[in-house]
Amino acid sequence: MAGEYAPSQKALHWLVAVMVVVQAGLGIWVAFAAPDDEAAAMRLYNAHDGTGAVILVLMLLRLAARLAGRAPRLPPGTPRWAARAAWLNHRALYLVLLAQPLIGWLNNGANGFGWSLYGFLTIPAPISQGEAAAAWLSAVHFWTALALAALVAAHLGGVVFHTFIRRDGLLRRMT
């Protein structure tokens, strides 16, 4: 079996994974079933914004940890195509997980709101309100969320490949 990630990297990985699942639920709720009650809707938006901010901070910590230490080697005999796919997928995941909260923040600004951190603190957006920008950023935020879902599915497909087809113990690196 290949080496393992550091405990801090494992903790950050699983914390981000849980937060992304929570954020996906909040995002779907915001997009398709936000309550009619304005106060309840605002609490939902604040939760979505705050969770996005937490994901951004965790991803910055993950990036710092990743840059400070090498990833363990893949198990011997990993096909070159699989190694390349993993390399690309991981980089794309980092990119999307860092970009998506920032796109949401810009989208908030275009809609006339700041970035609410669970309703306790609001960070003003660096752009002003604008209908065209709001529509465009909302679409980008939505499509980036779908790209994230596809990247997560590919990541999980790799876990299945290594766990059940190759049976090479790769999953133990992150557990």
Residue 106 has pLDDT above 50, yes or no: yes
Q: Looking at residues 132-150, what average pLDDT do you find? A: 98
E strand residue ranges, 33-173? 115-117, 121-123
Residue 2 has pLDDT above 80, yes or no: no
* CATH number, domain containing residue 135: 1.20.950
Structure confidence at residue 34 (pLDDT)? 85
- Please count the structural domains in the chain: 1
Q: Is 154 part of a structural domain of the chain? A: yes
- Whole-angstrom CA distances from 158 to 36, 46, 72, 117, 153 are 41, 34, 16, 34, 9
For residue range 158-171, what is the model confidence (pLDDT) as tens digits? 999 999 999 998 88
Q: Is 1 part of a structural domain of the chain? A: no
- Greater model confidence, 148 or 76: 148
**CB neighbour burial string for 83-107, b if at least 16 within 10 angstroms, e if fewer:** eebbeebeebbeebbebbbebbbbb
Global confidence as pTM: 0.93
Domain that holds residue 35: 7-174
Q: Is 108 exposed, middle or buried (0-12, 13-18, 19+ CB in 10 A)?
A: buried
Structure confidence at residue 71 (pLDDT)? 87
CA-nearest of 26, 77, 34, 81 to 55 is: 26
Within 8 A by CB and 6+ apart from 133, the residues are 106, 110, 127
Q: Is 150 part of a structural domain of the chain? A: yes
Q: How far apart are CA 88 and CA 153, in angstroms?
A: 14
Q: Is 2 part of a structural domain of the chain? A: no
